């Protein structure tokens, strides 16, 4: 209240001086706060998130960081990192238009060579024709704290977060975090790559899909839309039976056309069963999914 009173006194004194000098007075309406740092302004009025944070994921021992926030002050800026939530920046000045905004919202992990190499906070405040984003590097330290902040690219920030939770040599490995089912799939992908059954492009695509299924990478809205469009949902046994009969009839029709043109219609799965292996691996079934990077058998 004292600040507001002083502002009005200053405004009245300025008006008096201008009128007494015989010049026209131009009144400019200013906000009644000292910018976005005003402690009386509601937090929700200042920072509006574009999306919701992704679910907590990654190494279980890092989940204890969820719900906590860590501060770092550099010059006139205060940075706040809330793991699995967001990163914010506030200008610590009394300018009426001091900056305060979101530098990124928890999005996904960065994974390289079976290792969690960083946390990506994306979809922050607008910055020209793009949104601000931040990569958080996790390094070993005696205590959990933000140790440095930089901006290697315009509106792309880099934070270094020290914590004793990543000091163990296995603390950031990806494989142990996966379920037994996904670990088995990864083993099969590695075996297929070793046997040169898939290309490097196919290998990277399969791993990306596996990490998305594990919740470590965030699926794009387009991928979610395509999945919801192509997924089959049966609300009754009769409907399921009808769809099965239709698909069976269509397969029979296609087989008939291939036979008329003297084209073999044996599938990879059929040949595998004939050889005494009734349970084809998931990698073998993926030959039917289209181009996933598998090397074709030209023999």
CB 289 within 8 A of CB 269: no
Dist. CA 114–CA 136, nearest whole Å: 18
Other beta carbons within 10 Å of 166: 19
DSSP character string of 38-84? -TTS-HHHH---SSPPPPP-S-GGGGGGTT--EEEEETTEEEEEETT
Residues 6+ apart with CB under 8 A from 284: 268, 269, 272
CB 103 within 8 A of CB 80: no
Token digits for 204? 């990277």
Dist. CA 82–CA 67, nearest whole Å: 7
The pTM assigned to this predicted structure is 0.62
Token digits for 128? 């020209």
- Residue pLDDT, tens place only, 184-215: 999 999 999 999 999 999 999 999 999 999 99
Long-range Cβ pairs for the range 129-132 (8 Å, 24+): 130/155, 131/50, 131/155, 132/101, 132/102, 132/103, 132/104, 132/156, 132/157
pLDDT in tens, the chain (299 residues): 545 555 555 555 555 444 444 443 333 333 333 333 444 444 444 578 889 999 999 999 999 999 999 999 998 899 999 999 999 999 988 888 888 999 999 999 999 999 999 999 999 999 989 999 999 999 999 999 999 999 999 999 999 999 999 999 999 999 999 999 999 999 999 999 999 999 999 999 999 999 999 999 998 765 555 444 444 455 566 667 767 777 777 777 677 766 766 676 665 444 444 455 555 555 444 443 444 455 545 44
């Amino acid at each position: 209240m004292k600040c507001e009173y002083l502002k009005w006194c200053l405004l009245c004194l300025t008006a008096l001086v201008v009128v007494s000098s015989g010049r026209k007075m131009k009144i400019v309406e200013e906000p009644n706060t000292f910018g976005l740092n005003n402690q009386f302004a509601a937090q929700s009025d200042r920072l509006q998130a574009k999306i919701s944070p992704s679910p907590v994921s990654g190494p279980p021992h890092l989940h204890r960081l969820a719900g906590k926030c860590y501060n770092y002050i550099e010059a006139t800026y205060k940075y706040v990192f809330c793991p699995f939530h967001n990163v914010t920046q506030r200008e610590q000045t009394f300018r009426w238009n001091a900056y305060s905004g979101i530098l990124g919202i928890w999005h996904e992990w960065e994974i390289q060579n079976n290792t969690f190499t960083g946390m990506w906070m994306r979809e922050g405040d607008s910055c020209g024709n793009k949104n601000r984003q931040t990569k958080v590097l996790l390094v070993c330290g005696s205590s959990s704290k933000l140790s440095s902040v930089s901006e290697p690219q315009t509106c792309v920030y880099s934070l270094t977060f020290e914590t004793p939770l990543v000091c163990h040599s296995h603390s950031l490995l990806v494989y142990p975090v996966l379920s037994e089912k996904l670990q088995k799939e990864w083993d099969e992908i590695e075996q297929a790559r070793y046997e040169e059954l898939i290309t490097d492009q196919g290998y990277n695509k399969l791993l990306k899909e596996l990490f998305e299924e594990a919740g470590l990478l965030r699926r794009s809205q387009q991928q979610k839309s395509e999945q919801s469009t192509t997924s089959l949902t049966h609300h009754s046994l009769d409907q399921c039976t009808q769809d099965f009969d239709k698909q069976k009839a269509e397969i029979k029709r296609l087989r008939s056309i291939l036979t008329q043109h003297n084209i073999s219609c044996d599938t990879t799965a059929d040949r595998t069963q004939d050889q005494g292996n009734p349970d084809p691996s998931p990698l073998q079934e993926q030959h039917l999914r289209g181009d996933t990077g598998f090397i074709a058998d030209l023999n």
